[in-house]
Amino acid sequence: KMIGATDPKEASPGTIRGDFALSKGENVIHASDSEEKARREMSIFFREEEILELKA
């Protein structure tokens, strides 16, 4: 809810994309749509020992 819909035209005001994004291609922020994809994407930028597990 904080990030907003991928398409800024569909993102609610008060969300990051709703307030700041210009287009679907320039939507300001990236968010993975699953934990599996997030882990794969993090591995591109970080070594395993640089990633911390946070428990809510």
Task: Give catalytic residue positions.
Answer: 30
Q: How far apart are CA 55 and CA 41, in angstroms?
A: 20
Residue type, 6: T
Residue in the block written with tokens 């930028």: 45
Q: How far apart are the first and last CA of the chain?
A: 18
